[in-house]
A and B are shown apart, each in its own frame.
Chain A
Amino acid sequence: MSARVGIVVFPGTNCELDVASAVERLGGVPETLWHADADVRGADAVVVPGGFAHGDYLRTGAIARFSPVMDAVARFAAAGGPVAGICNGFQVLTEAELLPGALQKNAGLKFLCETVECRVETNRSSLTALASPGSVLHLPINHFEGAYVCDEATLRRLRDDDRVVLRYVRNPNGSLDDIAGISSKGRNVVGLMPHPERASDALLGSTDGVVLLRSLLETASQGAAVD
């Protein structure tokens, strides 16, 4: 059975259709979840897509984390369900404390819109299960606040537990330890700044994001978190 992917939409989210289209092309069934929804409508995986949820007022993701749907996403994640936060979605997941750390303004204070090289650091996550560790993916980034930051103890834990999922080959934004994506302790929740959905068709210039989205769909249809 094809995996049903719930795509969370807050006021100000703007990448939900890109994600839905990529999911559909890969054989998944996308379903939009509105921020006021109280559940994830039986989804097998959840994507929190990019954009500017609630205008990014106060801090990116700060208001979005209090949306009713986030309680449902937290329950889904706690039960081991695969959750991917892309760009603004990553920021929302850190604010919601489903992932540690925070995303800060880029070191150069510039909004970055370019394709970067990201190295897959582990295949032990819901988003990289099918990817080869060490492989380099060309993925677009599109953000102003993408510099990952956390305290030393957290960084040590992320490294020791193999939870740094993606690293930039050339750090574009001042991110701590070149981190482009991390996973939760259970490896089912992943946040990343690059946009795999925008690298999911030859027409878009790269298909390197496919392996990530396919991993998510695969994990979803297994109905359990990877480890």
Chain B
Amino acid sequence: MRYEARVEITHLPGIADPQGATIERALPALGYDNVTEVRVGKSIRLVVDASDEASARAQVDEMCHRLLANPVIEAYAIELTELVA
């Protein structure tokens, strides 16, 4: 089976996000005075071959922990979609 994984990486709560803060300060200049809590993260898309969804998720989770995210400062969320040939 083939699965598309979308990994969203964000800062852990309490970790400074200067890019998010800068964007939040810039938006009011365009008239958007109602925006708060801007956070900038990363999105990584990959396709993984695995026997089933649980195995695919476990592998992507391990990849996140070992490489894609730094658990000291980042959190991640995985979204899996089965690809139909």
Which residues of A line the B interface, CB within 8 A? 58-59, 62, 66, 94-95, 100-102, 104-109, 147, 149-151, 174
B84 CB to nearest A CB, Å: 30
Chain B residues lying within 8 Å of A101, measured Cβ to Cβ, are 72
- What is the chain B residue whose CB lies nearest that of A147? B16
A selection of 17 A-B contacts at a CB cut-off of 8 Å is A58-B67, A59-B70, A94-B72, A102-B70, A102-B72, A104-B15, A106-B18, A107-B18, A108-B18, A109-B19, A109-B22, A147-B16, A149-B16, A149-B72, A149-B73, A150-B72, A151-B72
A135 CB to nearest B CB, Å: 30
Which residues of B line the A interface, CB within 8 A? 15-16, 18-19, 22, 67-68, 70, 72-73
B39 CB to nearest A CB, Å: 13
* The one of B15, B16, B19, B70 that contacts A62, using a Cβ cutoff of 8 Å: B70
Chain A residues lying within 8 Å of B67, measured Cβ to Cβ, are 58, 62, 66
- What is the chain B residue whose CB lies nearest that of A152? B14
- What is the chain B residue whose CB lies nearest that of A66? B67
The complex places the Cα of A100 from the Cα of B72 at a distance, in Å, of: 9
The complex places the Cα of A62 from the Cα of B68 at a distance, in Å, of: 8
